[in-house]
């Protein structure tokens, strides 16, 4: 199964020394064959939200929801099951200061139930 | 034994094992349940002519599996939802006898861990365990949780969908995850046990919880906690006949007829506890609670109870598993050793954390009664009555209030 690991943490507490730890983690899950993709995101201050209502597009400054912790990056991984996915999520450096949300990718081969 | 009796016995004794095996094969709770029911119906008609097969359980499993394969072949929509069809068809077509039995010690164990996965909400864990492993109907589970039947049906659908869609594994967790996962399983089983005190269901939940406890104990003989949990449940359960009177009214521990306690349960519980303590259960919540229960269960008369030891064990328990309810029980034990006034002092810090818990004022009332402070006792009984939700407990508290009220002049 594929899982998206969403990394939430308080941007204000961003620590540049985390960089090498992230590189090491990424290398590790590439070696183990779990890595499919992943990226860090620019600050939530750069976020733009788009909504289309009654055919009109509304573009507003800011994220979908103002929260104490912001989405700062993600990994897309392959894992046998939820326990493997959560074990990988727990190894993400940001898990120690923020929260990792684990979301299964909906398989497009099977219709949505 | 005739065929219908044989089928009925098989259903009563092996239903959960068969269902667990089918869920393991099909990875679909509803499909497993449906084809199992069909297979039992087929057994009723076929065994009449051909006789009961040598291994009835394996017969039901392979018949149910074949029914699932037939359905999946007919139903394209189902087939798309079911990537494992090829594997399933392959095993069915070769006519291979079910090798499952030798390969896996017991599918029920895997099912317990799946139902009690920490990624599921606690209430859903209990509901799903009751549905799959205890065979309760949706109606009955709804009654345990005091919700409507459609609401419970919806919750069960949602939780089964999460298991499938989130990829919650159907396995006995690896050793590194086992301690934390077992904790969740223990908590679920014990909650089912305590729900059995008040739930009026066709199946007795206390017995079901004990049965699940036995499965765990059987599979983890080297661990201390399953034996301790099983001992705790057996020791509590030994008082089942005396906890209420013929009218369903509560009888306090100190007033119960100890000759009617179940001696076999006590004996088994104490033996299990001793074995568990040797493996280190004295450091776990269930080991300490079972030790307390054993001291009550083995006191021949209420005045023989080893209260100093019980008070010491509650102190240990409040360090291992701190909770205001444990502190409440500790205060009762202290009152038995040092007197009611000491107990009341221990209760003082609990006013805030237990302000909605009827047993706090009920305990204060009881201790004031012992001090013959009737007016205060009555006051606390009134508070307890305003908080209680369970009907037998309300009757008990009202009866106590009526009695203490006779000892002092009513207010004008």
Find, in chain A, the residue whose alpha carbon is nearest to that of B157.
A113
In the DSSP assignment, the letter for residue B303 is: G
Contact of A80 with chain B, judged by CB distance below 8 Å, is answered with: yes
High-pLDDT (> 70) share of chain B, %: 90
Query: Which chain A residues are within 8 Å of B84, Cβ to Cβ?
Result: none
Find, in chain B, the residue whose alpha carbon is nearest to that of A87.
B177
Domain ranges of chain A: 2-104
In this model, does residue B348 exceed pLDDT 70? yes
Contact of A110 with chain B, judged by CB distance below 8 Å, is answered with: yes
Q: How confident is the model at residue A26 (pLDDT cuts 50, 70, 90)?
A: very high
State residue A112's pLDDT score: 44
DSSP H/E element including A51: strand A48-53
In this model, does residue B148 exceed pLDDT 90? yes
> Mean pLDDT over residues B172-190, rounded?
91
Q: Which of A29-38, B120-129, B331-340, B400-409 has the lowest mean pLDDT?
A: B400-409
CATH class of this structure's domain A2-104: alpha beta
> Mean pLDDT over residues B102-124, rounded?
82
Contact of A105 with chain B, judged by CB distance below 8 Å, is answered with: no
Taking the CA atoms of B130, B241, B267 and B179 in sequence, report the sign of the dihedral they define.
Answer: positive
How does pLDDT run across B277-300, given as a tens digit for each residue? 999 999 999 999 999 999 999 999
ipTM value:
0.84
> Mean pLDDT over residues B315-338, rounded?
95
Contact of A113 with chain B, judged by CB distance below 8 Å, is answered with: yes
Q: Which of B75, B118, B167 to mutate to test the interface with A (most CBs of A within 10 A)?
A: B167
B189 closest CA partner among B165, B211, B174, B218:
B211
Option in A83, A106, A113 nearest B169 (CB): A83
| Range(s) of chain B covered by CATH 1.10.1740 | 3-98
Q: Which of A82, A84, A105, A112 to mutate to test the interface with B (most CBs of B within 10 A)?
A: A82
With an 8 Å Cβ cutoff, are A111 and B80 in contact?
yes
Option in B80, B161, B166 nearest A110 (CB): B80
Query: Which chain B residues are within 8 Å of A82, Cβ to Cβ?
Result: 117, 119, 166-169
Contact of A89 with chain B, judged by CB distance below 8 Å, is answered with: no
Half-sphere exposure (Cβ direction) of A42: Cα atoms closer than 13 Å: 6
Query: Which chain B residues are within 8 Å of A109, Cβ to Cβ?
Result: 80, 83
Note the helical H segments in B27-137: 29-50, 56-74, 76-80, 85-93, 100-103, 107-115, 122-132
What is B3-98's CATH number?
1.10.1740
With an 8 Å Cβ cutoff, are A113 and B77 in contact?
no
DSSP H/E element including A97: none
A94 closest CA partner among A12, A15, A2, A3:
A15
In this model, does residue B411 exceed pLDDT 60? no
In the DSSP assignment, the letter for residue B250 is: B
Q: A6 by DSSP, 3-state: which? A: strand
Q: At what angle do helices B56-74 and B29-50 cross, to 10 degrees?
A: 120
Query: Which chain A residues are within 8 Å of B119, Cβ to Cβ?
Result: 82, 86
Question: What's the pTM value of the predicted model, to 2 decimals?
Answer: 0.81
**B160-to-A3, B59, B132, B258, B352 alpha-carbon distances in Å:** 19, 27, 11, 45, 39
With an 8 Å Cβ cutoff, are B165 and A113 in contact?
yes
Contact of A112 with chain B, judged by CB distance below 8 Å, is answered with: no
How does pLDDT run across B244-259, given as a tens digit for each residue? 888 888 898 989 999 9
In this model, does residue B77 exceed pLDDT 80? no
Q: Which of residues B32 and B271 earns the better pLDDT score?
A: B271
């Amino acid at each position: 199964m594929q899982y998206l690991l969403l990394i939430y943490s308080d941007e204000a507490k961003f620590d540049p020394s985390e960089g090498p730890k992230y590189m090491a983690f990424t290398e590790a899950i590439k070696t183990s064959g779990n890595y499919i993709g992943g990226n860090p995101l620019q600050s939530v201050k750069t976020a733009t939200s788009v909504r289309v209502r009654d055919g009109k597009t509304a573009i507003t400054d800011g994220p979908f929801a103002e929260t104490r912790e912001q989405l700062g990056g993600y990994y897309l991984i392959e894992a046998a099951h939820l326990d493997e996915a959560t074990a990988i999520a727990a190894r993400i450096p940001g898990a120690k200061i923020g929260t990792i949300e684990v979301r299964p990718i909906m398989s497009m081969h099977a219709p949505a139930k | 034994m005739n065929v219908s009796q044989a089928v009925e016995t098989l259903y009563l004794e092996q239903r959960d094992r068969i269902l667990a095996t089918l869920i393991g094969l099909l990875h679909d709770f509803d499909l497993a349940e449906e084809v199992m029911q069909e297979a039992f119906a087929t057994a009723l008609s076929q065994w009449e002519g051909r006789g009961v097969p040598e291994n009835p359980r394996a017969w039901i499993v392979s018949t149910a599996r074949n029914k699932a394969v037939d359905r999946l072949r007919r139903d394209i929509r189902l087939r798309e939802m079911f990537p494992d069809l090829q594997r399933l068809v392959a095993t069915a077509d070769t006519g291979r006898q079910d090798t499952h039995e030798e390969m896996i010690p017991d599918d029920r164990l895997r099912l317990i861990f799946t139902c009690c996965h920490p990624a599921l909400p606690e209430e859903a864990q209990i509901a799903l365990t009751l549905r799959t492993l205890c065979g309760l109907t949706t109606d009955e589970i709804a009654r345990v949780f005091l919700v409507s039947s459609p609401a419970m049906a919806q919750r069960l659908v949602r939780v089964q969908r999460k298991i499938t869609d989130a990829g919650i594994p159907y396995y006995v967790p690896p050793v590194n995850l086992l301690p934390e996962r077992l904790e969740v399983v223990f908590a679920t089983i014990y909650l089912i046990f305590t729900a059995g005190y008040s739930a009026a269901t066709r199946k007795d939940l206390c017995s079901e919880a004990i049965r699940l406890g036995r499965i765990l104990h059987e599979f983890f003989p080297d661990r201390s906690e399953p034996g301790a949990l099983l001992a705790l449940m057996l020791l509590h359960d030994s008082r089942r006949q005396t906890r209420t009177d013929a009218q369903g009214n509560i009888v306090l521990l100190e007033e119960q007829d100890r000759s009617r306690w179940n001696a076999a349960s006590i004996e088994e519980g104490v033996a299990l506890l001793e074995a568990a303590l040797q493996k280190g259960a004295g450091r776990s919540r269930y080991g300490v609670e079972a030790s307390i229960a054993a001291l009550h269960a083995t006191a021949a008369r209420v005045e023989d109870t080893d209260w100093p030891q019980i008070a010491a064990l509650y102190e240990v328990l409040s360090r291992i598993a701190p909770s205001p309810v444990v502190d409440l029980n500790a205060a009762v034990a202290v009152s038995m050793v040092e007197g009611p006034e000491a107990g009341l002092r221990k209760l003082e810090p609990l006013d805030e954390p237990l302000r909605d818990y009827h047993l706090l004022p009920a305990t204060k009332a009881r201790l004031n009664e012992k001090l013959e402070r009737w007016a205060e006792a009555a006051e606390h009984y009134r508070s307890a009555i305003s908080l209680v939700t369970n009907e037998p407990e309300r009757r008990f508290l009202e009866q106590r209030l009526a009695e203490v009220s006779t000892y002092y002049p009513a207010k004008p």
